[in-house]
Structure 1
Amino acid sequence: MENCVRFGAVAALAILTGCAAKIDGGHSCPACPEMVRIPGGIFQIGSDADSPGHVADEAPRTMVELEPFEAARFEVTVGEFRAFVEVTGFAQEFPCFVMTEGGGWNVDYDASWRDPGFEQNDDHPVVCVNWGAANAYVAWLNETSEGPEFRLLSESEWEYVARAGSQTTFWWGERQDDFCRYTNGVDRSAREIYPTWVRSGECDDGYVYTAPVGAFAAPNAFGAEDLVGNVWEWVEDCYAPGFSDLPRDGSPRGGQPCEKRVLRGGAWGDYGAFYLRSAYRGAFDPDWSFAMLGFRVARNLEPR
């Protein structure tokens, strides 16, 4: 049954054959991502001005209280997204920023989650999906599953899960170059291919582009993996430069128009490993996609 839960390569077959994975409370969910239970709690989102690597939009540090919920153990994989496409006929209609030979970024209207400019297999995190595509996948999960509805994480939930109780700059501690033990970031081998990435780490994590999810077998204290590194992750929130108006209950920040959505986590192609800090934030046009941007899902414990 594990293959039904984690590996999306068999998702379409699972639906057709009635293979149902039982996860967290016995909810029947054909081919759903593997979920872990996240305990409720109180934490401070963001970073202080004197924190290493602090950026202005990470302030002010704000107390947030969250109820228990579930988060996917891994980012949504190529295989899981492929199953959604094969069942629904979802068609991509948006461009993707891809890596150039010189290590820069350029928009490519032919690139897609099927071909982001580097080799992937079904166990790699899906990339080149915009915010709308991520939500289309979520809607499909909800049509084919029972129990509480799936959704994207809020920004507060994402940082809470990423920190997993830690107070350090990185979830594993304070040493930036320890990241190669825990995740896929911009390392020494990446700099050999892209010499302009002068802020890369001095360790070698074994991957230049995306790594298979769970490749490092390094779950945090909540049991989630790859929260930082590998690929950025879309969250639900509209971007705002700071946390002064952030909901204190962990819900996503809305607003219209929502010109940019928040990204979290850092990725394989960010020029520097400091993007792997738990507090680091990104923002991107929700209509566009990126070859180092994917997503993960969450859901409440009870129906809304």
Structure 2
Amino acid sequence: MVAVTEGEFVMGADGTQALEDERPAHRPWLAAFSIDVHEVTTAHYAEFLKASGRPAPWQWETVELSRHGDRPVIGVDWADADAYCRWRGKRLPTEAEWEKAARGTDGRLYPWGNQGPVPDLANFALGARFSYSQVLMPVHSYERGKSPFGALQMAGNVYEWVQDWYGANYYELSSDRNPTGPDQGQFKVLRGGSWSDLPKYLLTYGRFKLPPETRNSYTGFRCAK
């Protein structure tokens, strides 16, 4: 894990580049926390399945741990991700924690800075056809694309579930200290973009939402504490 220091940071964005649910830019204060350097891998998730007896993720039958053990697990719904983090003595990051860990405190557009994504910074724009071998990259790849706090692949590879329920206008009413999202909702928030996405979905402030029971080929997670 890497440590993220306490304090304010710029969350969201203003102007025409930002979607309505990404506005306005605001400055929440967060307590110090830690976040995983890497997305959770199939090898780590296999340990959890063995210990917990939880049903396997979607597409799990295509996993070969000898070849894919360092790839991010996909096909997990929100409850799977939440259960894994708890099993590890951790939790899912809040949406604000995730954005600060990816963005730092200078309001940058991508984890590595303001330059648009290129193939040696992130794994993205690979179309829609999934296979563990061909579209997912090992979680320790893209050292040049790391965030200011040292977390890897917070843009691309897989979308990441976070703790919060989604609220379209939440930024207009969110707490200015340790915001945790709405009390309830229909969707959970995901962050970071995936192997199949265009560059605009890799922005540090970009928000995505899915029903919590969704399992697909472009969603994984990492834990915080």
TM-score where L is the length of structure 1: 0.67
1:209 to 130, 135, 143: 135
> SS where residue 62 of structure 2 aligns?
coil
- From the superposition, tell whether residues 133 and 43 of structure 1 become closer, same or farther in structure 2 (CA, over 3 Å): same
State the partner residue of 2:220.
Answer: 294
1:114 CA drift (Å): 4.2
1:221 to 148, 158, 175: 148
Retained in 1: the 8 A contact 2:43–2:70?
yes
1:63 CA drift (Å): 1.4
State the partner residue of 2:122.
Answer: 183
Correspondence 1:41 to 2:41: no
Match of 1:171, as an amino acid? P
1:158 to 63, 87, 98: 98
State the partner residue of 1:172.
Answer: 112
Match of 1:133, as an amino acid? D
Correspondence 1:280 to 2:206: yes
2:68 to 100, 112, 121: 121
1:226 CA drift (Å): 0.8
Aligned-pair identity (%) = 30
Q: Following the alignment from structure 1 to structure 2, what is the Cα–Cα distance between the partners of residues 114 and 65?
A: 43
Match of 1:36, as an amino acid? V
Structure-to-structure mapping, 1:53-68, within 5 angstroms: 53-68=17-32
Correspondence 1:90 to 2:54: yes
State the partner residue of 1:236.
Answer: 163
> SS where residue 298 of structure 1 aligns?
coil
1:166 CA drift (Å): 3.4
1:268 CA drift (Å): 0.4
State the partner residue of 2:86.
Answer: 139
User: Which of 1 and 2 has higher RCO (CA within 8 Å, sep 6+)?
Assistant: 2
What value does the CA root-mean-square deviation take over the aligned residues?
2.2
Match of 1:90, as an amino acid? R
Q: Following the alignment from structure 2 to structure 1, what is the Cα–Cα distance between the partners of residues 161 and 67?
A: 20
> SS where residue 10 of structure 2 aligns?
strand
Retained in 1: the 8 A contact 2:9–2:107?
no
Which of these two proteins has the greater Rg computed from alpha carbons?
1
Q: Following the alignment from structure 1 to structure 2, what is the Cα–Cα distance between the partners of residues 86 and 128?
A: 17
State the partner residue of 2:181.
Answer: 253
Q: Following the alignment from structure 1 to structure 2, what is the Cα–Cα distance between the partners of residues 215 and 131?
A: 25
Match of 2:88, as an amino acid? L
TM-score where L is the length of structure 2: 0.89
> SS where residue 110 of structure 2 aligns?
coil
Give the unaligned 5+ runs of structure 2.
none
1:120 CA drift (Å): 6.2
Q: Deviations over 1:173-197 (max 9, x none)?
A: 3332x432222111xxx36x87xxx
Equivalent residues, number = 218
> SS where residue 194 of structure 2 aligns?
coil
More strand by share: 1
1:208 CA drift (Å): 5.3
Retained in 1: the 8 A contact 2:167–2:182?
no
Q: Following the alignment from structure 1 to structure 2, what is the Cα–Cα distance between the partners of residues 120 and 130?
A: 23
Q: Following the alignment from structure 2 to structure 1, what is the Cα–Cα distance between the partners of residues 52 and 100?
A: 33
> SS where residue 88 of structure 2 aligns?
helix
